Amino acid sequence: HSTDFEVHRNWLAITHSLPISQWYYEATSEWTLDYPPFFAWFEYILSHVAKYFDQEMLNVHNLNYSSSRTLLFQRFSVIFMDVLFVYAVRECCKCIDGKKVGKELTEKPKFILSVLLLWNFGLLIVDHIHFQYNGFLFGLMLLSIARLFQKRHMEGAFLFAVLLHFKHIYLYVAPAYGVYLLRSYCFTANKPDGSIRWKSFSFVRLISLGLVVFLVSALSLGPFLALNQLPQVFSRLFPFKRGLCHAYWAPNFWALYNALDKVLSVIGLKLKFLDPNNIPKASMTSGLVQQFQHTVLPSVTPLATLICTLIAILSLVLSPRLECGSAISAHRNLCLPWSSDSPPSASRVPGIQPSIFCLWFKPQGPRGFLRCLTLCALSSFMFGWHVHEKAILLAILPMSLLSVGKAGDASIFLILTTTGHYSLFPLLFTAPELPIKILLMLLFTIYSISSLKTLFRKEKPLFNWMETFYLLGLGPLEVCCEFVFPFTSWKVKYPFIPLLLTSVYCAVGITYAWFKLYVSVLIDPPIGKTKKQ
């Protein structure tokens, strides 16, 4: 079983057998409790059902315990919690008004959307094969999005606040929520041209929003504040001691950065620019390690990633160079300490308004919020510190809602999901799982591509030749990595090559999708205007 299976079993044991004051101190297992308190309470409730299945799994010292009853219970708990996800999908489908083309059920946007969400390959394998409880967490997120669509803002805010205290990875999309609620809920009216009407600000709404968030946080963190354990809780929640990337690089910007570093160092060695003795040993011999020492390019610190993420989200210094698509110059620009840059000003980039700004200056209703949310999630995936490849789901699922609405979004969605899902392949690495992951992936990919193509058949094709070529390239890549490579002599010498290839190949696609989404957010006219025209 996967490590996450043991992680959750251990948490069941911790919450069941220890007092609250011990929850965030317990360290018998290396898989300490590192989710926010609501998730701990969730495990606590589960453990009271679990004791009827197998008492042994609730023992903290029973490391790596696994019986068939434990397995049954754990698997069923995930399936059971998915009910919330199904409900949320139903709510989302209600409030999405996509294109109306066919009369047949299978061609309706709602049907397609529900399949895209419910059969989502990534969620399916991460939750039900690998083992995690993402289903109901994403259920909460989708539900809160649906509530915002339905103009039930308070409820949406409450659900999101609860979600944050279940799993703090959702902090990545919190800026989108914050700005949207502030702009579209706290300001009750707009000027005719769509810009803000400052006088319409409603203090009551702001305070009630704040109160909701505060109360939820108080409920979650209050007990630990009373126990004076807050610093300990936070140190568990935000472990910055880990490396920039996982052992398997998540396919984001840093994967490209690392790969470039490797290529440069190899070239440098060949051309004798670099002294072989100065090169950190781990970087070339073992290939993929947690603490990655960059050879040529400057090493990246957590602060740098944080800044990059914030920049990507807020896009305060969106230099015109980024437009040229020159990735290297862009990253140099992003990674250098920004004090050397001249003070950022929006006037420097005429005609382009960045993502959060878009949400503020060009409010496009809930749809605009959804795009911004996706972009936040994707940007933090691109530049975050120690990002796990599973985090791509955070962008894929909200993006599904967008995909059935517009052809452009559908095209981005398909590139993003296909590459993002493919990058999850290393999660399942045993031979019996190989056919299942390939089959499920094919199932989802073929369905999503064909159904969206049918939905937008009257518009221009979803992919240009380059994108088609790239996506088709995933097939040969899989064949090389899983069927050919194990039989070559490189398997012993360079065991990391398949992972490296997968990671870099997917990183290209995801970066491309991110870039395309970014551009589309920036240049798209507000929906309201197009409708009027």
Partner 1 sequence: MEKWYLMTVVVLIGLTVRWTVSLNSYSGAGKPPMFGDYEAQRHWQEITFNLPVKQWYFNSSDNNLQYWGLDYPPPTAYHSLLCAYVAKFINPDWIALHTSRGYESQAHKLFMRTTVLIADLLIYIPAVVLYCCCLKEISTKKKIANALCILLYPGLILIDYGHFQYNSVSLGFALWGVLGISCDCDLLGSLAFCLAINYKQMELYHALPFFCFLLGKCFKKGLKGKGFVLLVKLACIVVASFVLCWLPFFTEREQTLQVLRRLFPVDRGLFEDKVANIWCSFNVFLKIKDILPRHIQLIMSFCFTFLSLLPACIKLILQPSSKGFKFTLVSCALSFFLFSFQVHEKSILLVSLPVCLVLSEIPFMSTWFLLVSTFSMLPLLLKDELLMPSVVTTMAFFIACVTSFSIFEKTSEEELQLKSFSISVRKYLPCFTFLSRIIQYLFLISVITMVLLTLMTVTLGPPQKLPDLFSVLVCFVSCLNFLFFLVYFNIIIVWDSKSGRNQKKIS
Q: Which residues bind partner 1 (CB under 8 A)?
A: 104, 106, 431-432, 435-436, 439-440, 442-443, 446-447, 450-451, 454
SS3 content of the chain, % helix, strand, coil (to 5): 70, 0, 30
Q: 337 vs 432, which CB is nearer to partner 1?
A: 432
Strands (E), 88-139: none
- Smallest separation (angstroms) from partner 1 to the CB of 255: 30
Q: In this structure, are residues 329 and 321 in contact, taking their beta carbons and an 8 Å threshold?
A: yes
- Smallest separation (angstroms) from partner 1 to the CB of 75: 10
Q: 93 vs 370, which CB is nearer to partner 1?
A: 93
Cβ partners under 8 Å of residue 428, min gap 6: 125, 129, 130, 434, 436, 437
Rounded CA-CA distance 528/533 in Å is: 9
Q: 105 vs 204, which CB is nearer to partner 1?
A: 105
Task: Provide Rg for the chain, Cα atoms.
Answer: 24
Q: 40 vs 125, which CB is nearer to partner 1?
A: 125
Of 509, 405, 410, residue with least CA distance to 467: 509
CB-side exposure of 201: number of CA atoms within 13 Å?
7
The torsion defined by the Cα of 113, 115, 117 and 119, in degrees rounded to 10, comes to -160
- Smallest separation (angstroms) from partner 1 to the CB of 461: 15
**206, amino acid identity:** L
As a residue count, the chain comes to: 533
- Smallest separation (angstroms) from partner 1 to the CB of 446: 5
Q: 27 vs 442, which CB is nearer to partner 1?
A: 442
- Smallest separation (angstroms) from partner 1 to the CB of 442: 6
The dihedral built from the CA positions of residue 226, 227, 228 and 234, taken in this order, carries a sign that is negative
**107, amino acid identity:** E
Q: 106 vs 299, which CB is nearer to partner 1?
A: 106
Task: Write out the DSSP string of 225-272.
Answer: HHTT-HHHHHHHHS-TTS-SB-SSPPSSHHHHHHHHHHHHHHHHHHTT
Angle between helices 203-226 and 153-166 (to 10 degrees): 20
387 has which bridge partners? 245
Q: 46 vs 125, which CB is nearer to partner 1?
A: 125
Find the largest Cα–Cα distance for the chain.
72
Q: In this structure, are residues 376 and 69 in contact, taking their beta carbons and an 8 Å threshold?
A: no
- Smallest separation (angstroms) from partner 1 to the CB of 490: 21
- Smallest separation (angstroms) from partner 1 to the CB of 433: 8
- Smallest separation (angstroms) from partner 1 to the CB of 450: 3
**61, amino acid identity:** H
- Smallest separation (angstroms) from partner 1 to the CB of 375: 30
The torsion defined by the Cα of 306, 309, 314 and 318, in degrees rounded to 10, comes to 110
What is the token pair recorded at 426?
């290393």
Rounded CA-CA distance 90/73 in Å is: 26
Q: 76 vs 240, which CB is nearer to partner 1?
A: 76
- Smallest separation (angstroms) from partner 1 to the CB of 478: 16
Q: 104 vs 275, which CB is nearer to partner 1?
A: 104
Q: 106 vs 202, which CB is nearer to partner 1?
A: 106
- Smallest separation (angstroms) from partner 1 to the CB of 443: 4
Q: 55 vs 450, which CB is nearer to partner 1?
A: 450
What is the token pair recorded at 448?
């999503």
